[in-house]
Amino acid sequence: MICASSCEDERESIAPGPNSGQRNIIKAVDISSYPEIALSNANYYNALGEVEPLLNILKEEGINTIRLRLWVNPSEGHSGFQEVLAFSNEVKAQGFKVWLSIHYSDTWADPGQQSPPMQWQNLSFEALADSVYQYTEKVVRAIRPDYVQLGNEINSGLLHPHGHITDNQEGFLQILEQGSTAVRTTSSGCRIIIHYAGISGAEWFYDIVDSVDYDIIGLSYYPIWHGKNLDSLSVTMQQLSTIYDKDVVIAETAYPFTLDWNDYTNNIVGLQEHLILPEYPASPGGQSDFVRDVTNRVRTVDGGIGYCYWGGELIAWKGPQATDASPWENQALFDFSYQALPVLSFLGGGE
């Protein structure tokens, strides 16, 4: 087997399994849009108010892993293979681990849309499955990630209609197995994540994928979509880890530090009803408290090995008049002056 240079250790040394006595917590941030934002020469400021490269700020705050999405052939090139390859090399040079989120699409893949890349859309199932294998092998060999996510929020399956979880469950599982086999063949160290959005229905989903060879259960948790009860989150994580004997990560989470906006792009979270109140107001303190409590709950789960904050870089980088920029600047890790928020110290904090 070929083992990538960033994955030289055995799988257990990257993050041990749920029955091991020691855990190396994954403290991750998804900054997939940063290569695009960097083209605008936007500045990020550290906690001291000084301009500093984004990766330096994250490293100094204790972040140890960077999550990057990968699209097959995006229309503008961002999050495509060449950009992700170049940025992943930069990330690794700074000492971070790389968590690769393979969407198997030319654009966003999530519970509501799992469109095959344009070049795969007219393939037979056999050719599609082979394309998944070949593509996965190619990107893992080149990018050498530490963690590989097969699909993104695949509640409804992936590569519809061939991989629809209810209409073609056998095809869905075969596609996942092709991806898993490609990873195992290419790297003995990279750990495989299967990613589900939310907590409701998670046991149903992981029952279905139980035959697939993977290592880590990845859950998205956003209160706006997945409920406002952190106790339910804790219970679900523990049940999944116990039932399936898998490690668990929060693959995506975020929370607003304000309900205001810094550009004319509509924000996804913008109403009081989207919040968990009164515990977590939309304030820097509320954001920090939410992240502190979510990350602490991960640590209390027997198989809980980490978490990832999504969209930490998504400042309003195109300016205050932009209608096509950030829908997330009120949930970024930097305020409207691009100054690091207190939440960063909780994300990168001690065990």
Q: Is 203 a catalytic residue?
A: no
User: Which of 83, 137, 252, 313 does the annotation list as catalytic?
Assistant: 252
Residue 155 lies in a domain: yes
Residue 239 lies in a domain: yes
Residue 143 lies in a domain: yes
**The domain spanning residue 303 has which CATH number?**
3.20.20.80
Residue 101 lies in a domain: yes
In angstroms, the CA 243 to CA 209 distance is 13
* Domains identified in the chain, total number: 1
Residue span of the structural domain in which 85 resides: 24-347
Residue 18 lies in a domain: no
Confirm if 157 and 128 have CB atoms less than 8 A apart: no
User: Which of 83, 137, 153, 177 does the annotation list as catalytic?
Assistant: 153
In angstroms, the CA 109 to CA 159 distance is 9
Q: Is 83 a catalytic residue?
A: no
Residue 10 lies in a domain: no
Could you tell me which residues come within 8 angstroms of residue 320 by beta carbon, excluding any fewer than 6 positions away?
262, 263, 264
Other C-beta atoms within 10 Å of 298: how many? 24
In angstroms, the CA 111 to CA 132 distance is 19
Instruction: Kindly state the tokens that stand for 111.
Output: 């519970």
pTM over 0.85: yes
Residue 246 lies in a domain: yes
Confirm if 288 and 341 have CB atoms less than 8 A apart: yes
Distances (CA, A) of 225 to 228, 260, 271, 272, 333: 9, 20, 13, 14, 20
Per-residue pLDDT of the chain (351 residues; tens, 9 = 90+): 233 333 333 333 344 444 334 468 999 999 999 999 999 999 999 999 999 999 999 999 999 999 999 999 999 999 999 999 999 999 999 999 999 999 999 999 999 999 999 999 999 999 999 999 999 999 999 999 999 999 999 999 999 999 999 999 999 999 999 999 999 999 999 999 999 999 999 999 999 999 999 999 999 999 999 999 999 999 999 999 999 999 999 999 999 999 999 999 999 999 999 999 999 999 999 999 999 999 999 999 999 999 999 999 999 999 999 999 999 999 999 999 999 999 999 999 854
Local structure of 292: helix, strand or coil: helix
